[in-house]
Amino acid sequence: MAESRPVLDIVAPFLNEAQSASAFAALLDKLEAEVSRRFGMEVHKILVDDGSRDDGAERFSQALSGSWEIVRLSRNFGKEVAVLAGLDQSRGAMALVMDADLQHSMDTSLKMITELVENPDIDVVYAQNDRREASWRRSQLAKLFYSLINSSQRFDIPENAGDFRVMRGAVVRALTSLRDKRRFNKGLFAWAGFRQKAIAYSPENRVTGKSKWSRLNLIAFSLEGFTSFSVIPLRIISLSGMLAALAGIIYGAKVFFEVMFYGIAVPGYPSLMVAVVLLGGLNLTLLGLIGEYVWVTLSESKDRPVYIVRDVVRGDVSGRPPGA
């Protein structure tokens, strides 16, 4: 039997990235060579096909070399879930999560791995996007989002940190033990705790294909973050309800006194209209928000698996079982 070296699992989800398959496989090969040379680690690649409609899985399976597996999900479950599906297969001493669209560079990956190998007191190293390219409005919005979501909990969700990170096996096991169905990875990573360290990076430009994030997607994603990690929106609801009620009481008192002491006839139509429309709108918005929370509760309470695997394609030159 060969000597057993520690294994680094590389987890990469992909959705319709056939165009980047050969380039990404080449990047993984280079990364594997470096990791083996510098740290004497073996690399096992775990790709997750998140319901691609192109022939990506086929192309990846032709392009990949060494020890790899492609977990094909039965449909598109979203990147957050695809990452979990990959981590579920990870048995190594460390796991690196990266995108398959070439936006996450080999340099940053190596930097993170080095950091983790050299610092036994750190359990997670994550890449923090320095957002050099983002517009001012976008970055202000991101700031607002993080300050709101972080205002009510015991752990902070770091700004601009995504799935691109290296973790020790213990962290992987902690994360995969969290079976939230509506997953907000940024929050789960933070919730799990451990000693984490950030390193700055800026993502490469996308060379092929396109980002799956539309503006609408981003809004939905932020709402997901709120409803699974924050009670702040509910507090805002209660507060605005109380303020509206207070305003109503004060206005009511004013009308009462005017009628009692000055006998002013009540000219009500415009103010009534404003109040009705305003409160009606507010009511519907807030009901919708409560609905979001109820929906989260409902989807979490159904006893469904987080994802379904269609099949797993394996390739292993050495003939060893993956991760052994």
Residue 65 sits in the site that holds ligand UDP (CB under 6 A):
no
The distance of closest approach from Cβ of residue 151 to ligand UDP in the complex, given in angstroms and rounded to an integer, is 25
Residue 99 sits in the site that holds ligand UDP (CB under 6 A):
yes
The distance of closest approach from Cβ of residue 83 to ligand UDP in the complex, given in angstroms and rounded to an integer, is 8
Residue 202 sits in the site that holds ligand UDP (CB under 6 A):
no
Residue 73 sits in the site that holds ligand UDP (CB under 6 A):
no
| Cβ neighbour number for residue 46 with a 10 Å cutoff | 27
Contact (CB, 8 A) for 64 and 25 = yes
Please work out, in degrees rounded to the nearest 5, the angle formed at the alpha carbon of residue 242 by the alpha carbons of 241 and 246.
Answer: 120
CA distance 60 to 314: 11
Contact (CB, 8 A) for 160 and 142 = yes
The distance of closest approach from Cβ of residue 216 to ligand UDP in the complex, given in angstroms and rounded to an integer, is 14
User: Site for ligand UDP (CB under 6 A): which residue of 101, 123, 180, 224?
Assistant: 101
Contact (CB, 8 A) for 92 and 69 = no
Site track 217-236 with Mg ion (rule: CB under 5 A), x = hit = --------------------
Percentages helix, strand, coil for the chain, rounded to the nearest 5?
A: 50, 15, 30
For residue 17, the partner it binds in ligand UDP, Mg ion, none, with Cβ less than 5 to 8 A by kind, is ligand UDP
Residue 17 sits in the site that holds Mg ion (CB under 5 A):
no
User: Site for ligand UDP (CB under 6 A): which residue of 46, 93, 100, 190?
Assistant: 100
Counting other chains too, the contacts that 171-176 makes at CB distance below 8 Å and 24 or more residues apart are 171/123, 171/124, 172/87, 172/90, 172/95, 175/84, 175/87, 176/84, 176/87, 176/88, 176/90
Here the tokens at position 307 are 């994802």
CA distance 264 to 195: 68
Nearer to ligand UDP, 39 or 164 (CB): 164
Of 42-61, binders to ligand UDP (CB under 6 A) are: 50
Nearer to ligand UDP, 13 or 322 (CB): 13
Of 76-135, binders to Mg ion (CB under 5 A) are: 99, 101, 103
For residue 79, the partner it binds in Mg ion, ligand UDP, none, with Cβ less than 5 to 8 A by kind, is ligand UDP
Here the tokens at position 308 are 């379904």
Residue 86 sits in the site that holds ligand UDP (CB under 6 A):
no
Residues engaged in binding ligand UDP (CB under 6 A):
13-15, 17, 50, 76, 78-79, 82, 99-101, 103, 211-213
